[in-house]
Chain A
Amino acid sequence: MNIVVCVKHVPDAQGDRTFTDSDMTVDREGVDGLLSELDEYAVEESLKLAEASGGTVTVVTVGPAAAADAVKKALQMGADKGVHVSDEAIHGSDAPATSLILAAAVKKVTDGAPELVVTGMASTDGTMGVVPAMLAERLGLPQVTFASELSVVDGKITAKRDSDASTETIEATAPALISVTDQINEPRYPSFKGIMAAKKKPVEQWTLADLGLDASQVGLANSWTKVVEVAKRPPRQQGEIITDEGDGGVKLAEFLAAHKFL
């Protein structure tokens, strides 16, 4: 089965993530970026499925020049080829616009007939977790999202999804869109061989025009939402810290009483 996996390049959460002053978009230049950790699970699951069924894995990313690193990492893990959609006009795109571009890229790379599209559960910068559902809607595919367990046998998909009140079993038949959680597997590290092999793997560079899209459909100016204010939250004032000298529990209870929690 041939699989398309969508991955995002995000600012490192260990760094000082900020917004740019000029247009209040996420600052993707000031902080080192990397393949979103949550998308490693999607790559791993795609590789496993392809290995089991003898298909290929194509990794697709939408993002600025630096996003090529995310594609590279997925190729090093074992994906077969990459697609990097990059265009000045994409800067500042919101989720509906991103899903529009991704949907067009998925269609182009599969000649309009995707078999399985796999994504992460959420990006670690935006953390919206909405692009997969939007992609399913746009591609007209059944949606099997937040899979914490997955099996695909002869195109028959069975997944487990954790909801608040229950654990659900979901079934669907490929073609379908699947998003996976960080419960599903242990992503592999690229091996030395994988790193060497990745250098020879093909990566397509596409612009909006290659996808038949137009600058008026995407980007900050054409997003369906706008940010009106960004404020750095004042760091929390550190409160009182005590060392337990045998009465730590009592002091804790006193704090609770003084703050009316009892």
Chain B
Amino acid sequence: MGEVLILVDHVDGKLRKATAELLTIARRLGEPSAVHIGPGAETAQVTLAKYGAGKVYVFDDPAALGHLVAPQAEVLAAVVAKTNPVAVLIPSNSIGKEVAARLAIKTESGVITDAVDVQAGDGGPVATQSAFAGSYTVKSQVTKGAAIIAVKPNSAAISPAPAAGAIERVDVALSDLAKAAPITERKPKAKSGRPELTEASIVVSGGRGTGGDFSPVEGFADTLGAAVGASRAAVDAGWYPHSNQVGQTGKQVSPQLYVACGISGAIQHRAGMQTSKTIIAINKDEEAPIFELVDFGVIGDLFNVLPQATDEVKKRKG
């Protein structure tokens, strides 16, 4: 079996959930190796080994993350040239997809993004995507080069499978072009203390129906340990940060449970949440299209329903 590269999703060596998922998937396809770009590889190594990384290729020149996208593609291309992998799995977020894009051109390989599942198949990995706001399921394969597949978070149930996790440094001289778009400032987002939207197993979202008061939405989210999302109408009104927007031009989430509060269910919103396992909606308007999707719906005012539900959940949880 050949090597399968996964690009480590981390912040200063602190791994994000997608990393263990990618390793779990990689084991179906071949022998996983992790590619760690940036600081903190020694911290990450333990977990990478735990989930099956035989090798950990490390490139920690600060320039790699100090510039947009291009350096990461150059580093990955160098590791691809060296290892000739059967597949390269990359987290399907905006940065990851662009890294995958450039890597595809550099290595003349096909690329599939937004995969929700990857399985071994005849003639290489088979990736599953959902198309047209979740109304279709599409399976595809890469037919040229290494199979570059960007995989969405929550696409696999992680399981450990200890391996060596041997660190191997990668020596790449980044091109001047890769350093042509420096990131000159990073303003960290305010931390909410809630789980991250794309990783959370429960998401509670509010829309225009909140009228700008997200407290019932947040209160309910907190009793469930959920992340908070928002529709674009709520974001455009300035009620909630753009980084919490769910939908076509926001985050695509696929949690176990999605609760839409005061959200009508426009196609662009659905595009970001339709693949959730269970969907609940609370809306005053019984005609709201969101009700077409729900497993459970309450026609009612969210300002009555949510506080009552919050109290009841607290009571049941003791």
Question: Which listed residue (B109, B114, B299) contacts A244, Cβ 8 A?
Answer: B299
User: Known: A13-B133, A228-B141. Is A167-B187 also a contact (CB below 8 A)?
Assistant: yes
Once the chains bind, are B98 and A225 in contact (CB under 8 Å)? no
Within 8 A of A (CB), among B182-223: 182-189, 196, 198, 202
User: Known: A137-B105, A164-B196, A248-B304. Is A17-B135 also a contact (CB below 8 A)?
Assistant: yes
Which residues on the B side are within 8 Å of A247 (C-beta)? 308
Q: Which secondary structure characterizes the binding site on chain B?
A: mixed
Residue A77 interfacial (CB < 8 Å): no
Which residues on the A side are within 8 Å of B114 (C-beta)? 127-128
Which residues on the B side are within 8 Å of A146 (C-beta)? 94
Once the chains bind, are B189 and A224 in contact (CB under 8 Å)? no
Interface size class of B (residues with CB under 8 A): 35 or more
Residue B177 interfacial (CB < 8 Å): yes
Residue A185 interfacial (CB < 8 Å): no
- The contact string, 1 if C-beta is below 8 Å from chain A, for chain B 252-265, is 00001100000000
User: Known: A19-B136, A167-B187, A224-B142. Is A162-B242 also a contact (CB below 8 A)?
Assistant: yes
User: Known: A134-B104, A255-B296. Is A170-B182 also a contact (CB below 8 A)?
Assistant: yes
Bound Cα distance from A136 to B145, whole angstroms? 21
- The contact string, 1 if C-beta is below 8 Å from chain B, for chain A 150-167, is 000000000001111111
- The contact string, 1 if C-beta is below 8 Å from chain B, for chain A 1-25, is 0000000000001100111000000
- How many A-B residue pairs have C-beta atoms within 8 angstroms? Tell me: 268
Question: Which listed residue (B248, B278, B308) contacts A250, Cβ 8 A?
Answer: B308
Determine how close the nearest CB of chain A comes to the CB of B177; give it in whole angstroms: 6
| Chain-A contact segment, one of B38-46, B54-62, B67-75, B165-173 | B67-75
- The contact string, 1 if C-beta is below 8 Å from chain B, for chain A 165-181, is 11111111100100001
Residue A233 interfacial (CB < 8 Å): yes
Once the chains bind, are B111 and A224 in contact (CB under 8 Å)? yes
Within 8 A of A (CB), among B142-192: 142-145, 177, 180-189
| Chain-B contact segment, one of A79-87, A91-99, A106-114 | A91-99
Once the chains bind, are A133 and B102 in contact (CB under 8 Å)? yes
Which residues on the A side are within 8 Å of B300 (C-beta)? 243-244, 248
Of chain B, the residue at the smallest CB distance from A239 is: B295
User: Known: A238-B294, A252-B305. Is A130-B111 also a contact (CB below 8 A)?
Assistant: yes
Bound Cα distance from A252 to B310, whole angstroms? 10
Which residues on the A side are within 8 Å of B104 (C-beta)? 95-96, 130, 134, 224
Q: Which secondary structure characterizes the binding site on chain A?
A: mixed
Once the chains bind, are B188 and A225 in contact (CB under 8 Å)? no
Residue B28 interfacial (CB < 8 Å): no
Once the chains bind, are A142 and B181 in contact (CB under 8 Å)? yes
Once the chains bind, are A169 and B185 in contact (CB under 8 Å)? yes
Question: Which listed residue (B70, B73, B295, B313) contacts A253, Cβ 8 A?
Answer: B313
Bound Cα distance from A164 to B242, whole angstroms? 10
Residue B293 interfacial (CB < 8 Å): yes
Which residues on the A side are within 8 Å of B249 (C-beta)? 38, 121-122, 181-182
Question: Which listed residue (B109, B243, B256) contacts A162, Cβ 8 A?
Answer: B243
Question: Which listed residue (A124, A143, A183) contacts B70, Cβ 8 A?
Answer: A143
Which residues on the B side are within 8 Å of A244 (C-beta)? 298-301, 304-305
Determine how close the nearest CB of chain A comes to the CB of B31; give it in whole angstroms: 24
Residue B11 interfacial (CB < 8 Å): yes
Which residues on the A side are within 8 Å of B248 (C-beta)? 124, 127
A-to-B contact residues, CB < 8 Å: 13-14, 17-19, 38, 94-96, 99, 121-122, 124-125, 127-134, 136-138, 140, 142-146, 148, 161-173, 176, 181-183, 223-233, 235-236, 238-244, 246-257, 259, 261-262
Known A168-B187, A239-B294; 18 more pairs at CB < 8 Å? A146-B94, A161-B68, A163-B95, A164-B93, A166-B187, A166-B189, A169-B187, A170-B68, A170-B182, A233-B137, A236-B292, A241-B291, A241-B294, A243-B299, A243-B300, A249-B312, A256-B313, A261-B256
12 contacts between A and B (CB under 8 A): A19-B136, A95-B101, A95-B104, A133-B101, A137-B106, A143-B98, A164-B196, A170-B181, A224-B104, A240-B295, A252-B308, A262-B224
B-to-A contact residues, CB < 8 Å: 11, 68-70, 73, 93-95, 97-102, 104-106, 108-114, 126, 130-145, 177, 180-189, 196, 198, 202, 224, 242-243, 248-249, 256-257, 267-268, 271, 274, 278-280, 282, 286, 291-301, 304-313, 316-317
Question: A-B pairs with the 7 shortest C-beta distances?
Answer: A249-B308, A244-B300, A224-B110, A142-B180, A130-B101, A253-B312, A249-B309
